Homo-oligomer: A and B are copies of this chain.
Amino acid sequence: MRFRIPVVAVCLALAIMAGAQAKQSGGGSAESQLRAQEEAWLKAFQAHDLNKALGFLAPGAVAMAPNAPPAKTQKELHDGYAPLAAPGAKINFKADYVAVSGDLGVSSGPYQLTMMDNGKKVEDKGKYVTVWKKQGDGSWKVVRDIFNSDMPAPGSK
């Protein structure tokens, strides 16, 4: 009987730690990791490094740009993100909302984008939601990405 209470105490501590660990993955540190990963993704676009930017996509990722069906295949994703990393393009985005729970993360905020369209500058600004999934190696990757413009639709009154 001499060992009974200490063993219970140790086991209780283990149980509490298991719970805390599960919670902690939704805490401040995971959000910082997600913010850092999003910033690294932005830097890849800003460096016009399309292949690096595409490397942030998880298998099965779907990108949802306005006025086009969802991009799902490698080619669709490549072609969909290419304008954001093209020479002359300038992009910026920063989450004003980040939520993380376990292996699921969400970031959302405003973006600003300048693209070249037949040598003409096109300025756009809008908002986005990106859904992230923590991968087996602990890195955060994009599973869904959607955005739309704040600007009036072309041709609207």
Contact = CB atoms under 8 A, between A and B. Distances in A.
Copy tally for this chain in the complex stands at 2
Nearest to A150: B69
Interface stretch (A8-16, A37-45, A79-87): A8-16
Contacts of A65: 148
Interface in A1-51: 1-4, 7-8, 10-12, 14-15, 18-19, 22-23, 26
Say which size band chain A's interface belongs to: 35 or more
A102 B99 contact: no
Contact of A66 (B14, B18, B148): B148
Nearest to A97: B144
A114 interface: no
Contact of A148 (B3, B11, B22, B146): B146
